[in-house]
Amino acid sequence: MDVYEVLFQRCLEYTVVVEDKEVPLWSISREDIEENRVDFRVQWKSLQDLAIFLYQLKRDQSKSKELVKFPIEEILIGIAFLNSETSECLTDPRFTCIVYLSDLITARVNCIAKYYFLVKKPLNTTIFDEVILKFPQKKNLKDNLEDLKKIVEKLRNLEFHI
């Protein structure tokens, strides 16, 4: 299992609210989404809000020697299920968010490699970081756009299996 499979599994366990009940994401149905019964409990109103948030996080992480904490599962859920504010966007806001998230993860990996790798484990690591730090990967983590797109598409299509 690679780091993106672990990340996808964490997204499936993300808690959403359906008809006033907290349930894991994997238990929702297409009808729940179509009938607006799901509250995804994300902190953004639209994909544009999420893109701005990710851009600011990326900027903060690239300037910092510390690891900037961010809710990666919530971000992926937001990318998968939030809608755009307008339909006349020049670029796809979902793709923009994926690019910003990819850049943010790359900046985080660089921070781990530059300041922490083999010296000490940072205090505020996530399960994603744990996998990065403990297991050698088959591919370059910096080339993660396709992996992130796959996760978002599987979530959007409710393909809740690996």
What does pTM read for this prediction? 0.79
Buried b (16+ CB within 10 A) or exposed e, 6-40: bbbebbbebebebeeeeeebeebeeebbeeeebeb
> What is the predicted pLDDT for the residue at 69?
84
Domain coordinates in residue numbering, the chain: 43-156
Question: Rounded mean pLDDT of 120-125?
Answer: 66
Which among 89, 94, 129 is positioned nearest to 113, based on CA atoms?
129
The greatest distance separating any two alpha carbons of the chain, rounded to the nearest whole angstrom, comes to: 51
Token pair in block for residue 60: 């903060």
Query: Does residue 142 carry a pLDDT above 60?
Result: no
Parallel/antiparallel/unpaired status of strands 21-24 and 38-39: unpaired
Cα dihedral sign for 67, 130, 40, 47?
Answer: positive
Residue 46 pLDDT exceeds 80: yes
What is the predicted pLDDT for the residue at 137?
47
